[in-house]
Amino acid sequence: MLFASDEIYFDLACGIGSDGHWHGWFAVHVDADVLRRLGLHPDQPSSAAGGQSPPGWWHAAAERHAH
């Protein structure tokens, strides 16, 4: 396993959204020093989201084909 149990943790939250449906959210937390062992670090240009999001039709098509 890449990470020891004390080097990574996640948070999970769920609840009913404003539309009345259940929604879930999660976050994964890994210490920066652990990522450096893998050759990654927070200062890398690719460590942050960049560029524009794909157009709306692309998201809709991806959801249609996911089922």
d(CA 3, CA 30): 9
Number of structural domains found in the chain: 1
User: pLDDT tens-digit profile of 2-33?
Assistant: 788 888 888 999 999 889 999 998 898 888 88
55 inside domain: no
Q: Which position has the token pair 């999660």?
A: 26
Position 47 scores a pLDDT of 57
Residues in the chain: 67
**Domain span including residue 13:** 1-44
Q: Which amino acid is at 25?
A: W
59 inside domain: no
- C-beta of residue 14 within 8 angstroms of C-beta of residue 23: yes
Mean pLDDT of 37-55: 73
Examine the pLDDT at 41 and tell me if it is beyond 80: no
Look at the pTM and tell me if it is higher than 0.85: no
63 inside domain: no
CA atoms within 13 A on the CB side of 36: 5
Q: Hey, is 35 helix, strand or coil?
A: helix
